[in-house]
Structure 1
Amino acid sequence: MRRTRWTKPAALAMGLALVAGACGEADETATDTTDGSTDATTDDTDDTAQTEGGEGAVDYKACEVTDTGGIDDWSFNQTAFEGLVAAGEELGTDYSDNVLESTSEADFTPNIDAHIENNCDMVVTVGFLLGDATAEAAEANPDTDFAIVDFAYDETIPNVRGLVFATEEAAFLAGYVAAAVSESGTVGMYGGQELPSVTAFMDGFEQGVEQYNTDTGEAVEAVGRNLFTGDFENQTNGRTTTEQLLDQGADVIMPVAGPVGLGSIEAIDAAGGADVATLIWVDSDGFESTDAGELMLTSVQKNMDVAVQEAVLAGADGTFEGGVSRGTLENGGVDIAPFHDFEDAVPEEVTTRLEELREEIIDGTITIELTG
């Protein structure tokens, strides 16, 4: 296992609040579509990395275990880590040393155990794949709070809050705008590992394209729904997969693969840049979080930073409860990012329709079918 210090935490958007849903049993296991609440605890990774706070700092230690992408993935793990750091800043302490990065699934349990041994009050685990390791640790350590991103349990574990997100809702909007601006009539997508938290993006994107075709009578094709690289680390896989989509004529591509998506940037740059294709990033606003803003049509944002921050603050003030917290379009837990450099490329009638679709998703007029 690897211990890393993050030195440049990005600014956290503080205006969002997730709806804390039922703290009893969740409706589904390991999905992005259940409701509940969160909790957090802080811990340093070794005796030399003690949480330091000034006068008035809260005596609460929150720590984090990442998935295999690492906290510099410009996406999933990084966004969650920013929430941990922001919570520490609000509490008057520094949590930036309290993270263990997993290089493989074999690291999950040892990393969690290391935080518990170092007296973390809360352990935040990041990713669907940590579900089993988190449950085992939580049941063995009932006095420690846990929050897990992208996982909800069938039966509530009293000291675990699942942080899940209806990413399919925002991805539906992204698919609609992708279809609207495509000049080739083909848009693409691919995933890392085939997990429910990945396929939800792809389901929403594909159905957004279908909605555009229904509205306009066009026949934009969405390709890549069953295309997966099998990992979240290998950028070469992202590049070759993107090249496949470009060869099929896709001129807007959404990688749902964490750092693997950086390979998509390489592929599009090599093919001619934004004149050939644009990207829809996921988890964070890729215009802000990557060095390829000129390629970013928009992003499907999953505001994990806010969810993690709220969980940690609940733990610190003693209001933490197990259950599930679900981020949606309605409560601001998910959304699409601004169009930034492509604002003029999106027709006004499309932006108007996007707002109508947003309301139809929120009020239930539109339902998005999940296959994962």
Structure 2
Amino acid sequence: MTISTPKKLAGITAAAGLIIALAGCGSAPDASNTGTAGAGGAVDGFKPCMVSDAGGFDDKSFNQLGYEGLEKAAGELGVDFKAVESSSESDYAPNLQSLVDDGCKLIITVGFALAAAAGESAAANPEIEYVSIDDMVDNDFDGKTDQPNIKPIIFDTAQAAFMAGYASASYSTAKKVGTFGGMNFPTVSIFMDGFKQGVEYWNKEKSDNVQVIGWDGTDGVFTGGFEANQDAINAAQGIVDQGVDVLLPVGGPIYQSAASVIRSSGREIALIGVDADVFETDPSVGDLLLTSIRKLIDVGVEDAVMAAGQGNFDPTPFIGTLENEGVGLAPFHDFASKVSPDLQGELDKIKAGIIDGSITVKSYLAG
């Protein structure tokens, strides 16, 4: 296993609007960073820390957003922070223990895959505060977070994905759009569920018949992991070969594999990003991006770290929605002139309908 020092991340994007009040092996090398000069105000000895999942902190997606939120909050508080990367599931528990041993007062786990390890670590260290990104840490499935010292920050991304599905159906001339994921976990399939429902809503409203390739509402195409590797290329290729002209890959850096398949296809195929506004985090694929389904993880992490650093840790779960701006759809950027001039107005109405309940979006978080 390798635990690597996180790379200094460039191009931190400032998120607009206030959201989110809720929301191994061996010893880890020193991955500490000093918060830049700030107003301070942190409680004595406060040290926030973070463990990534296997995607690493340069995934241009949710791990990177989490790191950026931590970095910004540490700078504002004027404190040191530590972040360790995981390369496999076997790293999670040892990485968490390394942060406990290092005196961390707040430990943030990025990704649902760390839920079991986070729950065990929190139970063993009740004096340490934890933040779980993308999972309730309900390992006994009783509907409650397992430990009182864990704050979950989760996102009903089906709502924003619904809008992306509608936009994709509007854009598609092939009448086929596709999606695939890393693994069939709820935090992955929630994007695919919303996407499919959005396409179906378009079909209903427009009496159209756009097909969704790669997800049937229960199962679909998955790579088996979250790496931009040959498995991801094969998954993307299999969907592209079926004639889609929009492709939604869900799972951190696997979008990079999808982009390579799109470029080699010689066809006009639009890509949809997830988590971050990928147009901003990875300009190399900007010309391919129709839009991105956003989770404002950076703002959520910053808010949680600031609260904990000032002695106001609140374990109440936060669920990001369209209403509280915890999720959203990125601008069309280079595709603004390529989509229907009516599309944005229709999306605004859909957003309002989802918020007021007149349009129902089903997900594992909303039923």
For the residue of structure 2 that corresponds to 1:258, the secondary structure is coil
Indicate the larger mover: 182-191 or 240-249. Answer: 240-249
1:202 to 188, 192, 210: 192
1:103 to 79, 87, 92: 87
Query: Which aligned pairs between 1:79-228 and structure 2 lie closer than 5 A?
Result: 79-95=65-81, 98-152=82-136, 153=138, 154-156=143-145, 157-225=147-215, 226-228=220-222
For structure 1, the residue ranges without an aligned partner over 5 or more in a row are 21-36, 39-44
C-alpha contact (below 8 Å) 1:281/1:299 kept by paired residues: yes
CA distance in 1, matches of 2:15, 2:211: 38
CA distance in 2, matches of 1:196, 1:265: 24
CA distance in 1, matches of 2:10, 2:104: 21
The letter for the 1-side match of 2:345 is T
Residue of structure 1 equivalent to 2:12: 11
The letter for the 2-side match of 1:3 is S
The superposition leaves residues 151-191 of structure 1 with CA deviations (integer Å, 9 ceiling, x where unpaired) of 11332322110010010000000000000010101000001
CA distance in 2, matches of 1:48, 1:240: 35
Identity %: 39
CA distance in 1, matches of 2:35, 2:206: 58
Deviation, structure 1 residue 16: 3.1
C-alpha contact (below 8 Å) 1:71/1:101 kept by paired residues: yes
Deviation, structure 1 residue 52: 5.7
Residue of structure 2 equivalent to 1:277: 269
Alignment of 1:267 with 2:261, yes or no, is yes
Alignment of 1:249 with 2:243, yes or no, is yes
The superposition leaves residues 209-259 of structure 1 with CA deviations (integer Å, 9 ceiling, x where unpaired) of 001111111111111011111100142222221111111111000000211
For structure 2, the residue ranges without an aligned partner over 5 or more in a row are none
Alignment of 1:336 with 2:319, yes or no, is no
C-alpha contact (below 8 Å) 1:167/1:300 kept by paired residues: yes
1:327 to 320, 331, 341: 320
Q: TM-score, normalised by structure 1?
A: 0.89
For the residue of structure 2 that corresponds to 1:345, the secondary structure is coil
CA distance in 2, matches of 1:324, 1:112: 21
1:74 to 60, 64, 73: 60
Relative to structure 1, the CA distance from residue 135 to residue 223 in structure 2 (aligned partners, 3 Å threshold; closer, same or farther) is same
C-alpha contact (below 8 Å) 1:54/1:92 kept by paired residues: yes
CA distance in 2, matches of 1:277, 1:14: 28
For the residue of structure 2 that corresponds to 1:300, the secondary structure is strand
Alignment of 1:293 with 2:286, yes or no, is yes
Larger relative contact order, structure 1 or 2 (CA cutoff 8 Å, min sep 6): 1
Residue of structure 2 equivalent to 1:32: none
C-alpha contact (below 8 Å) 1:235/1:261 kept by paired residues: no
CA distance in 1, matches of 2:20, 2:33: 33
Runs of 4+ in 1 over 3 A off after TM superposition: 45-59
The superposition leaves residues 318-358 of structure 1 with CA deviations (integer Å, 9 ceiling, x where unpaired) of 11121311111111110010000000112122211100000
CA distance in 2, matches of 1:183, 1:365: 29
